[in-house]
């Protein structure tokens, strides 16, 4: 039977009345483009001027979208959603660091998270960004195929070693690593590094996943090549499928620099490739594990329908569904309730360091053309049902 995404009682069972009211207030505010825009600018200015806004952010956006400031706080959140069969992906949400010292420090931080996750049955995954271990400009240079100086070559070797140390720890502790996709102009080295890790660690189980952004028209072809490569070289592919989060930035850069946009011509084209990618992975499930990272109900339902039609059990270790913490609980909790593997991306870290992540969440929940978001409709429905 297909899961029912309209059930808000199941969707929000982990939320107390006060947390639900806070979510209602937050999504109502974000629904207004004006409030959202003013709020985001004021937040950024206040942080720049070192005004005391941390408490306010922590009790609003941060509480909705993040697990806590520390791993222990995140684990408490993981335990709450774990009670309802929803697992956690620990996401150390710090972004924008650029020094070798920061990159070196990130390695033990990730290994600590892996060891911590290994002691917690609700946390089977961690996620990482290659830019957490590497200078963006160097990745850009490698992507462009430029010749590296000797110093740059050793810098690149250090990046490889950092990522390898994290993946090795994940392998040793039976934790899976999701490597996020970022801007297209650094994607080649991200693919190369992740492929090297998959070949090394995904021999008998899937430890490492690469991410495929299907708003880029070239990615479906690359996904198919990756499946083929895994088959021919006797390892399992880890395929994390998303639509992609940097569309405006991608289009803007392409227009400014005068090259053809890597982005699909319209939303339908992205949706078509996304669903085709899920299908291709499910058809080749013997050779891979697929991680369906989406808030799109139709894509989730199509995947479930295929699994039902082809007798792929809900509890297979090869198919995972995932949404971000604080969003699309109707999908996550109803899928988990029907027995599917579901995990929430749970960012954690100091409030000031996760601001870029929070701003992306605020932006994507701002209403277009005055429509009430699906999220707000569902929260309102549950507020009414609970007679709050
Ligand atoms: C668990 C998880 C992990 C994620 N990890 C990553 C990651 O590593 N890297 C990353 O980039 N993003 C990541 N994302 C974000 C993701 O890429 C999407 O931005 C977000 O999930 C919205 O897409 P959707 O599939 O949920 O739903 P939908 O709301 O159906 O799709 C919205 C998406 O469609 C695409 N789109 C919208 N309008 C157009 C248009 N006019 N033309 C072409 N395409 C269009 C955009 O990608 C947009 O984000 C992740 C999301 C989740 C849930």
What spacing in Å lies between the alpha carbon of 270 and ligand 1's midpoint?
A: 9
pLDDT band, very low/low/confident/very high, at 383 (cuts 50, 70, 90):
very high
pLDDT band, very low/low/confident/very high, at 41 (cuts 50, 70, 90):
confident
Torsion angles phi and psi, residue 383, rounded to 5: -60, -45
**Mean pLDDT, rounded, of the chain:** 93
* Cα 111 to Cα 164: distance, rounded to the nearest angstrom: 11
What is the atom index within ligand 1 of the atom nearest the CA of 323?
Answer: 53
What is the atom index within ligand 1 of the atom nearest the CA of 266?
Answer: 42
pLDDT band, very low/low/confident/very high, at 110 (cuts 50, 70, 90):
very high
What spacing in Å lies between the alpha carbon of 243 and ligand 1's midpoint?
A: 4
Q: Identify whether the C-beta of residue 96 lies closer than 8 Å to the C-beta of residue 355.
A: no
pLDDT band, very low/low/confident/very high, at 371 (cuts 50, 70, 90):
low
Spell 115-151 as b/e; 16+ CB within 10 A means b.
ebbbebebbbbbbbbbbbbbbeebbebbbeeeeeeee
pLDDT band, very low/low/confident/very high, at 367 (cuts 50, 70, 90):
low
Q: Identify whether the C-beta of residue 366 lies closer than 8 Å to the C-beta of residue 36.
A: yes
Taking the chain, what is the end-to-end CA distance rounded to the nearest angstrom? Answer: 32
pLDDT band, very low/low/confident/very high, at 368 (cuts 50, 70, 90):
low
Per mean pLDDT, which range of 8-17, 88-97, 279-288 is the poorest? 88-97
The mean pLDDT value for 372-386 works out to 91
Question: Tokens for 23?
Answer: 């979510």
pLDDT digits (tens, 9 = 90+) for 188-220: 999 999 999 999 999 999 999 999 999 999 999
Task: Using alpha carbons, select from 272, 299, 284 the residue that is nearest to residue 239.
Answer: 284
Is a pLDDT exceeding 80 seen at residue 14? Answer: yes
Per mean pLDDT, which range of 39-43, 140-144, 231-235 is the poorest? 39-43
Q: Identify whether the C-beta of residue 321 lies closer than 8 Å to the C-beta of residue 333.
A: no
Q: Identify whether the C-beta of residue 77 lies closer than 8 Å to the C-beta of residue 68.
A: yes
What spacing in Å lies between the alpha carbon of 204 and ligand 1's midpoint?
A: 30
The mean pLDDT value for 333-354 works out to 94
Which residue, judged by its Cα, is nearest atom 36 of ligand 1? 267
pTM exceeds 0.75, yes or no: yes
Which one is predicted more confidently, 364 or 161?
A: 161
Q: Three-state SS for 112?
A: helix
Task: Using alpha carbons, select from 4, 29, 10, 16 the residue that is nearest to residue 376.
Answer: 29
């Amino acid at each position: 039977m297909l899961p029912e995404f309209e059930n808000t009682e199941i969707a929000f069972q982990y939320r107390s009345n006060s947390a639900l009211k806070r979510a209602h207030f937050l999504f109502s505010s974000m629904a207004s483009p004006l409030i959202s825009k003013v709020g985001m600018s004021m937040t950024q200015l206040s942080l720049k001027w070192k005004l005391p806004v941390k408490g306010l952010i922590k009790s609003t956006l941060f509480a909705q979208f993040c697990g806590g400031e520390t791993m222990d706080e995140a684990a408490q959140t993981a335990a709450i959603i774990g009670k309802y069969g929803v697992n956690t992906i620990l996401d150390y949400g710090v972004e924008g660091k650029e020094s070798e010292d920061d990159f070196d420090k990130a390695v033990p931080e990730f290994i600590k998270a892996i060891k911590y996750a290994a002691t917690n049955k609700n946390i089977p995954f961690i996620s990482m960004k290659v830019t957490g271990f590497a200078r963006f400009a160097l990745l850009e240079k490698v992507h462009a195929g430029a010749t590296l100086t000797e110093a740059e070559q050793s810098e690149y070797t250090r990046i490889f070693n950092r990522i390898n140390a994290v993946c090795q720890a994940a392998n040793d502790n039976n934790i899976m690593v999701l490597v996020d996709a970022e801007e297209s102009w650094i994607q080649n080295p991200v693919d190369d590094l992740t492929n090297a890790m998959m070949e090394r660690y995904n021999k008998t189980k899937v430890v490492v996943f690469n991410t495929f952004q299907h708003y880029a028209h070239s990615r479906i072809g690359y996904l198919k090549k990756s499946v083929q490569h895994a088959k021919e070289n006797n390892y399992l592919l880890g395929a994390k499928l998303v639509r992609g989060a940097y569309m405006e930035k991608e289009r803007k850069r392409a227009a400014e620099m005068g090259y053809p946009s890597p982005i699909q011509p319209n939303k339908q084209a992205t949706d078509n490739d996304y669903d085709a990618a899920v299908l291709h992975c499910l058809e080749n499930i013997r050779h891979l594990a697929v991680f369906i990272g989406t808030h799109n109900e139709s894509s989730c339902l199509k995947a479930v329908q295929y699994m039902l039609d082809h007798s792929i059990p809900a509890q297979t270790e090869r198919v995972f569904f995932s949404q971000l913490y604080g969003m699309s609980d109707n999908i996550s909790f109803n899928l988990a309730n029907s027995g599917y593997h579901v995990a929430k991306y749970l960012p954690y870290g100091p409030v000031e360091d996760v601001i870029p992540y929070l701003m992306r969440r605020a932006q994507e929940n701002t209403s277009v053309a005055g429509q009430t978001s699906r999220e707000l409709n569902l929260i309102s429905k549950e507020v009414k049902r609970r007679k709050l």
